[in-house]
A and B are shown apart, each in its own frame.
Chain A
Amino acid sequence: MELNPWLLPALVAIPFVGGLLAWYSERLSLTWPRWIGLLSMAATCVIALWIWKHADVPGVLPAADAPVWLLEFKLDWIPRWGITFHFGIDGLSLLMVLLTGVLGVLSVACSWREIQQYVGFFHLNLLWNLAGVMGVFMALDLFLFFALWEVMLVPMYFLIALWGHSSTAGAQRGHSRVYAATKFFIFTQAAGLLMLIAILALVWVHHQNSGQWSFSYEDLLHTPLSTAQEYGLMLAFFVAFAVKLPIVPLHPWLPDAHSQAPTAGSVDLAGVLLKTGAYGLLRFVLPLFPAASREFAPIAMALGVVGILYGAKLALVQTDIKRLVAYTSVSHMGFVLLGIYAGTTLALQGALTLMLAHGLATGGLFILCGELYERLHTRELGSMGALSRRAPHYATALMFFALASLGLPGLGNFVGEFLVLFGSFAVRPWTTALAATGLILAAVYSLYIVQKALHGPAADTRPVEDLTAREQAMMAGIMLALLILGLFPQPVLDLARAPLSQIGHWYAMGVPGP
């Protein structure tokens, strides 16, 4: 069946228009924006699944010189500079888009009770942010990519600054949600600026060589670069994406932003926004600058290990549950970085699987943190305790995600982490062995959460409301998805096989001429 190319811009347009509608519909009723948000994001999920079902997924490896898209959409925008509305989707993009859609649905659902102020404007920001992310995962024009990259950031600033909460620990240091939002904005804006400069430089070099202005990914892929040019541009792109991932030492925005953001913001940040960094590395850094990336790989992999251990070590001593989960993200993204730069098929597939699993598991954890905050009005682990008796369903869900986070086999994170480790070990055994010790620390911090929140004596005698039907449905959905990813990951691996093996091939051998 022939797929309509307009499905791709629709993936961006639906949340975009949905956001506007949600804003206006606030006047009618406060539930309208919620339903509009839910339906828009559900629609993107349906489209993504539709594409997956009907697209012709290549079973064998494609010829190595040009990318193969399952579906492509192209429209002129500024022809003078070679700028186009060019979207393309392959297995890698499709999976990220699907993740965005699923977490979008969850983000709207988890705000149902939490957000009571400016409901319409909240959903406008949330949906525009998601629209930006959708676009980032599909853009094949670097100008368009950059524009959408910015679209994704500004609404997030408002989400944190307007609906965030101030932690008690933060208030003592004079830190507020505005502080966190500003910090997030400065870090990502600085990185974005660096990326813009690098994009312009790359386009200019391309113009010098070919006499044509083009921002097209496929054209720029074949730009001949001198060694110094390549390394410099690679570094600029790397840093831009490294802030997003985040890579130690560019991570300090993350714990503040995650802990201060409203639940939907944290889910969105951890589940989707971090993945744009990893996606950028996979889609742009490795294919555009293969030789320089190879040279840089030992440093990048070492940074990955530093991230794993440093993030885990910081997580060990946090008392704010959201901050703790935020640091575990730093640790998990270290595995992703390790896998990307190892570049073997196993490692790349592992990195992708881990991105999906981490998005789901950490999304689930943040939703649970938010639900707990609604009930106990605290995020301090010391003020919880005994939830396994006070709210058994809640406890089961939290235990499940804590186990996913420590990499229990049978759940998606395990498949991701182990594929990364199996794949990286072939390239750099000692670095990988060091990374594997992160598995021990993951057990320590995950079980610390379980002990403090679920077991032991209760900090007070307040009754705690157990999960409502809406919350149970959300949790059951994520848990099921993680189980499927852990036990039947093959469909996902097959979908991503062609693009990832191509990226791995380019990374290893360089991109052949057109």
Chain B
Amino acid sequence: MTAATSLHYVVLLPLVSATVLLLWTRIPQALVTAFGIGSVGAAAAVTALVGWNWLQDPQPQLQILWSWVQLESFTPRIALYLDGLSLTMTGVITGVGALIHAYASGYMHDDPHYRQFFAYMNLFVAMMLLLVLGDNLLLLYLGWEGVGLCSYLLIGFWNDDPANGGAARKAFITTRVGDTSMAIGLFLLYRELHTLDIRGLLEVAPLVWSGDSAMPTWIALLLLGGAVGKSAQLPLQAWLPDAMAGPTPVSALIHAATMVTAGVYLIARLNGLYLLAPGALEVVGWVGAVTLLLAGGAALAQTDIKRVLAYSTMSQIGYMFMALGAGAWQAAIFHLMTHAFFKALLFLASGSVILACHHEQDIFRMGGLRRKLPFAFWSFIIGGAALAALPVVTAGFWSKEAILAGAWSGGHHLWWAMGTACAFLTGLYTFRMIFIVFFGGEHAHAHQVDSRRMKVPLSVLMLLSIGGGLISLPLSAVLPAQSGAEGGHLPELVAVAAGLAGIALAWFWYGRSPQSAPVEQGLRAWAKSGWGFDALYDALFVRPLYGLARLNRSDVVDQAYALLMRLLVGLHRGTLRVQTGRLGWYAMAMALGMVLLLGAVRWN
């Protein structure tokens, strides 16, 4: 199985399964499970085979399926492209995806809409694969919008509650704002380079723009708009915490492991373009650095277990953006992969906890769960350790160290400091959550519900969260290696110490005695609200837009015509009034008219 002949099966398997599940409404539940998990599992197997073959001769491979549009120089194709980067992404999507699907078959077992759930999940996987395998930016955009749609459908999956629908629309519309910026970026890119083919444009760009960085900077910034929307970075980050309204496996797959990293993939994929626009790359790094700190701070004040993880995701993706900005391309993708492992693990484990506590999500109503839910406890310990980058024994350590070292050696000492500060916060908020949930007194009547289908994926993810750092990614041909001085060991040690200090402080504050919910006011309330961005955007955009629209609900243009009509009717009534039917009146009018006419004649 080579990439050039079999790559399309990777996309086709989940796509066909999604279609079957959508159309066959009376399918038995066992078949739903078989199709749902089987298709993604098979896609993972095909990926493994194709990837294995590809690794024997790691040359980029192209599979052209058909020509989408052919007009003048506008020739986007439906074609799949495999290189080290897309192979890495495909591996994560199908591998972690298959594990999450397996877990979900247990988690969603009793849901009345089990069939739709797997249909949407499979569709998501197919779209995400198109996003990373597409050989041109228009096909990438198709996947990009497609995953947005699935994200919308799955966040609002329990749509009886209008709040879930609201969260879903918020996610879709916020990311659409970014997507529109990205679309304008594509228009500009096409106008300048007359191609949307990714390799083509990366080849042409340096020739067209040698010495000119204004145009590439504009384009790179517009595309960055799309990236920050999908990846929930400032200023389009506000949708992600609300997206936790979806079922937990959705949060694990879409809002932690895959879709939200699409922005990182986009920038890494277009690294040649961003290298021509150093200013834009600087902005990428700052977006990441600021987001990681703000999100890390907000995570500290959350009381909902999934919102802690959501802010943590935002913060970790901030690390990836910072790495991209610092030119540590490979470190960014490396962290993307390890993050997918340990964040999926944490989300799925939190799902087990939530299920065991009868859909309770408030961490202060849990407590002392380590005895009743030992499996979830160990999942959390391992996932949390990887998230907090516990040295040497976790995958997260290797990737985060690579990022911080990259920032330091790239000369971005301020970013390094911000990242290190956040490493401290990460240790603190992660273990705050773990101590509150699993230690102290018991508040909840939890009972173990995990089935084997849920435990196996968790076990695999635990292994990956520990050993995933040993995987070496075939990225060197795609992404430039970082140049710059070695930083020495001191910054590394400081970063490690910061993370450990965070964990220690968490033990000191939350680990030794049972915790009750703190009073929410001042800084804590502000942080919990995600630093007030929701209120800000509501006041700045949502309310003015709707206010303006409501003001003009009955369409002022229509009113103008109505006024014209009323004037005419009035005139018409006025003239009607003259027709009284009384002879005397007519005689008088005639006489008056005569006088006027004669007078006019005389005047002349």
Contacts and interface: CB of A to CB of B under 8 A. Distances in A.
A200 B558 CA distance: 31
Contacts of B56: none
A410 B142 contact: yes
Given A409-B146, A421-B187, A455-B165, A346 B180 contact: no
Contacts of A443: 172-173, 176
Nearest to A425: B187
Given A410-B146, A421-B187, A433-B184, A451 B141 contact: no
A408 B284 CA distance: 27
Contact of A314 (B66, B161, B555): B555
Contacts of B275: none
A113 B188 CA distance: 50
B71 A349 contact: yes
Contacts of A447: 152, 168-169, 172-173
A10 B552 CA distance: 47
Interface in A400-436: 403, 408-410, 415, 418-419, 421-422, 425-426, 429, 432-433, 436
A444 interface: yes
Interface in B134-170: 138, 141-142, 145-146, 149, 152, 156, 159-162, 165-166, 168-169
B188 A429 contact: yes
Contacts of B156: 455
Interface string B64-103: 0011111110100010000000000000000000000000
Contact of A437 (B160, B166, B180, B558): B180
A454 interface: yes
B159 A345 contact: no
B191 A248 contact: no
A456 B159 contact: yes
Interface in B170-224: 172-173, 176-177, 179-180, 183-184, 186-188, 190-191
A210 interface: no
Contact of A419 (B71, B78, B161): B71
B188 A425 contact: yes
Given A408-B149, A409-B146, A447-B152, A490 B67 contact: yes
Contacts of B71: 345-346, 349, 419, 493, 497
Contacts of B187: 421-422, 425, 429, 432-433, 436
B559 to A, nearest CB: 9
Contacts of B138: 409, 418
A345 B73 CA distance: 11
Interface string A430-463: 0011001101100110011001001111000000
A251 interface: yes
Interface in A477-514: 487-490, 493, 497
A249 interface: yes
Tell me what chain A mostly uses at the interface: helix, strand, loop, or mixed: helix
Contacts of B160: 386, 389, 455-457
A317 interface: yes
A444 B173 contact: yes
A425 B165 contact: no
A51 B177 CA distance: 44
B585 to A, nearest CB: 32
Query: Taking chain B's interface residues, is the majority helix, strand, or loop, or is none over half, making it mixed?
Result: helix
Interface residues of B, number: 52
A255 B141 CA distance: 33
A58 interface: no
Contacts of A426: 191
A165 interface: no
B80 to A, nearest CB: 15
B74 A439 contact: no
A252 interface: yes
Interface residues of A, number: 52
Contacts, number: 128
A497 B555 CA distance: 39
A316 interface: yes
Interface string A232-253: 0000000000000000110110
A29 interface: no
A316 B162 contact: no
A454 B159 contact: yes
Interface in A371-398: 386, 388-389, 392-393, 396
Contact of A456 (B162, B180, B545): B162
A313 interface: yes
A429 B191 contact: yes
B601 to A, nearest CB: 36
Contacts of A488: 66
Interface string A293-320: 0000000000000000000011011100
A491 to B, nearest CB: 11
Contacts of A408: 145-146, 149
B190 A409 contact: no
B602 interface: no
A409 B145 contact: yes
B159 A489 contact: no
A388 B557 contact: no
Given A408-B149, A447-B172, A447-B173, A396 B67 contact: no
B558 A252 contact: yes
Residue with the greatest number of chain B CB neighbours at <10 A, chosen from A314, A415, A419, A488: A314
Nearest to B177: A440
A403 B553 CA distance: 24
Nearest to B186: A422
A333 B550 CA distance: 22
B69 A493 contact: yes
A345 B68 CA distance: 16
Given A314-B555, A425-B188, A440 B142 contact: no
A190 to B, nearest CB: 11
Nearest to B556: A249
A114 to B, nearest CB: 26
Contacts of A437: 180
Contact of A251 (B165, B548, B550, B557): B557
Nearest to B178: A440
Given A252-B557, A409-B138, A422-B187, 6 more contacts: A316-B545, A317-B546, A415-B69, A422-B186, A429-B191, A448-B169
8 contacts: A313-B549, A314-B552, A317-B550, A392-B25, A422-B186, A433-B187, A456-B160, A457-B160
Interface of B: 22, 25, 66-72, 74, 78, 138, 141-142, 145-146, 149, 152, 156, 159-162, 165-166, 168-169, 172-173, 176-177, 179-180, 183-184, 186-188, 190-191, 545-546, 548-550, 552-553, 555, 557-558, 560-561
